[in-house]
A and B are shown apart, each in its own frame.
Chain A
């Protein structure tokens, strides 16, 4: 098992304690379940799809980001916004993953501010503006350009795709790398795709 960020562990601990609490009701068919049967369940499937070893040759989008040194800010943001499951489900999805440098380009204090609990929904909105349902390899993005199709993001916004020389630009952010993942595609971008709203 790869390292699980501390924050996520906390989330998991909290959710498992809720599970235990729920089972403390008595059974009207006679007999009280004793505490020993209470699931101190460390079953891997209770920890979410991200942790299932699925024999796939490719990691899913979240695993990929978690393993990348250039995406620690993104991973922290995903955890703070609680949108991990959006990145590990069956998809298909295409993630535009801003690098740490991309977040650094934002005005001072912006990231710190977004990571505050009271800004959780705002942060989630920004992050889902980086996820497009369906598979969009570069060839498909080029086709979108040719056919004049915009890119529908999970935030609900439609984002423009454009081209400058050989570079593909999505919502103003240039793609600088592409990885196939088990549940779709990840394009590394050098800017944060700021929502219109």
Chain B
């Protein structure tokens, strides 16, 4: 490891030496930053970036939105984690988004964003992203840039080979990385082998985006690591890398590397879809949450589901096959034509590329070298299209440029390598700083990549930026891949730990981005759509405050009659209907968060006053010239007081 860093440091030094004084020539190899790199990532003030990039936030649980080529962060979208910045996961409306069969889970580990597709091309309707820890899949609207739906995946654990969409977003697919008892039961861990299962879950996506688990494929108890759908001729198939086919239950770092080859599982989902449509499969008990955010009521609801359809792969003739793939393959990537399936053997120096058409021939010829739990294993040589030799050390992931080239990341040798589909020859290599995980080319996992830029998402930051103590954000690098050689253009810090990312030309979505929520479409149960509707209502110990905001006051702004021990619900509606005029709401001592309320929106936060007194609340967003004046008071009386409810604005009672 040390040597690698030395080499990397030398590389950095070399890069500085080369770039000083060469001003302009752009054809150096090995990491030289060409003279006009700054110009090529420069987006002038007021100009927009050419691409959106959606980077998973990893252990932040969220999704961050960047512009490319500038590398500017545009937004963080809360998905699986509470987000006090705008009240997501704290507001009454959004708490249900984080419900699971384990109860309310305030945090998640977000991994692989994937943009919805039509005919194998990015259509820009939604981004899906998986939660690895408490298995869930989320759908994020690209009109609102908000999480609209989260579905829990039952019987799964370590939801890693997810959330990849099929060519027409028929399905979003979620595979389990950790095999587990299926269904869960109390059993000895060392009895894992043969008893644990690795379910692969196919979630149907409706025209409105709504997700519904169609079926779970009960696969042998291997670790299902990553996946990608077929496209073109291979549309209808899905491919999953596996490792730990040894089914080791302890010290996997040694025990899971005993087999020379693991598998890529090839799943003909069209066959299984047909099978379940004809009544195939077995409905079994399950417990999982399905959380949906409704934009008209602006409120999320949780439905607990209790059944799932399970399919034994051996019951569906010709539906599932294993392709032997060397050295614990990680990334499972399919080229834009759908012909090549790349297995990135992470403990190898080589990449194994399978051919879809050869796979079909081998299946027709029953060209098997054995079986695993009665699932046929195809002959390795019969499906092999080629091997990319000596690409580097520790290959992880591959993306495509649509011009016949593939780009693979190498974690151990810390580089990205460009190679040619069909000839398998290595064309170029560039260092990454440091130890790249995923890479991303906009559309690079679809039928139509936009092969202009590539982002490397790196696992180790070390000295890339000004030091900020022991804990660092991860680094990303932007490469221009439009020419024969890759050119490193820039380097920017990310947020959390981006695993995968998804990019799309800005023109495909920017005109659809909403500017406000329309007040006349607000059907929130507790909305007050004008000041005359604002009021207080007591229901036992609960007090509901129907409140509005507008530049630059709250209505009401003085509230009395609240007692210690009450639970106060502040339902705050922002009456503004202009672009980018949010108001905030913060209450002293609230054990929740603030609210950030966009024009036309209603959000609710609770407050349980503990002390007698007169307590202020205020607007947290510098909304207007009179923002500092935007405040109010709540009078809190003793538990046994008789102070009546009273709500006023400008000392006048409202309605």
Is A3 positioned at the interface, with any CB of B under 8 Å from its CB? no
Residues on A with beta carbons closer than 8 Å to the beta carbon of B38: 27, 29, 31, 33
Docked Cα-Cα span, A33 to B43, in Å, equals: 13
Name B's interface SS: loop
In A74-107, the 8 Å CB interface with B consists of: 89-93
User: In the assembled complex, which residues on chain A have CB atoms less than 8 Å from the CB atom of B46?
Assistant: 39, 41, 43-46
Residues of A contacting B581 in the complex (Cβ-Cβ under 8 angstroms): 90
Closest chain-A Cβ to B583's Cβ sits at a distance in Å of 11
B45→A46 contact, CB < 8 A: yes
Contact of B42 among A29, A37, A44 (CB under 8 A): A37
Q: A55-B515, A92-B626 in contact; A34/B39 too (CB < 8 A)?
A: yes
Looking at the assembled complex, report how far the CB atom of A195 sits from the nearest CB atom of chain B, in whole angstroms: 20
Q: Is the interface of A mostly helix, strand, loop or mixed?
A: loop
Please give, as numbers and ranges, the residues of chain B lying within 8 Å of A89 by CB-CB distance: 625
Neighbouring A residues of B45 by C-beta, 8 Å: 19, 39, 41, 43, 46
A92 pairs with B551, CB closer than 8 A? yes
- Cβ contact of B625, chosen from A44, A55, A93, cutoff 8 A: A93
Q: Which listed segment binds A: B29-37, B248-256, B325-333?
A: B29-37
Give B32's nearest chain A residue, CB to CB.
A30
Question: How far apart are B554's CB and chain A's nearest CB, in angstroms?
Answer: 13
Choose from B23, B550, B578 the contact partner of A56 (Cβ within 8 Å): B578
The answer, yes or no, to whether A150 is at the interface (CB within 8 Å) is no
Q: How far is the CB of A113 from chain B (nearest CB, A)?
A: 31
CA distance A54 to B578 in the complex (A): 6
Q: Which residue of B lies closest to A31 (CB)?
A: B35
> For residue A143, which residues in chain B have a CB less than 8 angstroms away from its CB?
650
Asked whether A30 lies within 8 Å of B33 as measured between CB atoms, the reply is yes
With an 8 A cutoff between CB atoms, is A162 at the interface? no
Question: CB-nearest residue of chain B relative to A37?
Answer: B39
Q: How far is the CB of A17 from chain B (nearest CB, A)?
A: 14
Contact A182 B624 (CB under 8 A): no
Query: What residue in chain B is nearest A57 (Cβ atoms)?
Result: B577
Chain A residues lying within 8 Å of B44, measured Cβ to Cβ, are 37, 39, 41, 43
Contact indicator B19/A29 (Cβ below 8 Å): yes
Which of B24, B37, B580 sits near A54, CB closer than 8 Å?
Answer: B580
Cα A134 to Cα B624 with chains together (Å): 9
Cβ–Cβ < 8 Å partners of A44 in chain B: 46
- B488 shortest CB reach to chain A, Å: 13
Cα A182 to Cα B33 in complex, Å, equals 48
Task: Output the nearest chain B residue to A143 by Cβ-Cβ distance.
Answer: B650
Q: Contacts A30-B20, A30-B23, A183-B578: A39 and B47 contacting too (C-beta < 8 A)?
A: yes
Across the interface, name the chain A residue whose C-beta is closest to B23: A31
- Residues of B within 8 Å of A46, CB to CB, are 45-46
Please, how many angstroms separate the alpha-carbon atoms of A183 and B626 in the complex?
12
B630 to chain A, nearest CB (A): 10
Report if B3 contacts A (CB, 8 A): no
| Distance in Å: Cβ of B116 to nearest Cβ of chain A | 25
A52 within 8 A of B: yes
Selected from A33, A37, A56, the residue in CB contact (under 8 A) with B579 is A56
Instruction: Tell whether A158 is near chain B: CB-to-CB under 8 Å.
Output: no
**Cβ–Cβ contact B36 & A34, under 8 A:** yes
| Partner pick for B23 among A32, A182, A183, CB 8 A cutoff | A32
Task: Give the shortest distance, in Å, between A25 (CB) and chain B (any CB).
Answer: 12
Nearest chain B CB to A84's CB is how many angstroms away? Answer: 16
CB distance from A87 to the nearest CB of B (A): 12
Contacts of B515 in A (CB 8 A): 54-55
- CB of A43 to closest CB in B, whole Å: 3
B648 within 8 A of A: no
Q: Please report the C-alpha to C-alpha distance between residue A184 and residue B624 in the assembled complex, in whole angstroms.
A: 11
Across the interface, which residues of A come within 8 angstroms of B578, CB to CB? 54, 56, 58, 90, 182-183
Which residues 609-654 of B sit at the A interface, judged by CB distance below 8 A? 623-626, 650
Q: How far is the CA of A41 from the CA of B24 in the complex (A)?
A: 24
A33-71 interface (Cβ within 8 A of B): 33-34, 36-37, 39, 41, 43-46, 52, 54-58
Select one of A33, A34, A133 contacting B626, CB under 8 A.
A133
Residue B540 lies at the interface, judged by CB distance under 8 Å to chain A:
no
Q: What's the Cα separation between A19 and B580 when bound, in Å?
A: 26
Shortest CB distance A11–B (Å): 16
Residues from chain A with a CB closer than 8 A to the CB of B22 are 30
Question: Are the C-beta atoms of B624 and A90 separated by less than 8 Å?
Answer: yes
Question: Is A178 engaged at the interface, CB distance under 8 Å to the other chain?
Answer: no
**A29–B39 alpha-carbon span in the complex (Å):** 12
Asked if A90 contacts B47 (CB within 8 A), the reply is no
Determine the distance from Cα of A29 to Cα of B22 in the docked complex, in whole angstroms: 11
Question: Do B551 and A55 have beta carbons less than 8 Å apart?
Answer: no
| 9 A-B pairs closest in CB distance | A39-B44, A43-B46, A54-B579, A31-B35, A92-B551, A30-B19, A37-B39, A46-B46, A55-B515
Q: List 26 A-B contacts (CB under 8 A).
A: A19-B45, A27-B38, A30-B22, A31-B33, A31-B37, A31-B38, A32-B35, A33-B39, A36-B39, A37-B40, A39-B47, A43-B46, A43-B47, A54-B579, A55-B516, A56-B578, A90-B623, A91-B551, A91-B624, A92-B551, A92-B626, A133-B626, A134-B626, A135-B550, A183-B578, A184-B551
Known: A30-B23, A39-B45, A55-B516. 12 other contacts (CB 8 A): A31-B23, A31-B34, A31-B37, A31-B38, A39-B44, A41-B45, A43-B47, A44-B46, A46-B46, A56-B579, A90-B581, A92-B626
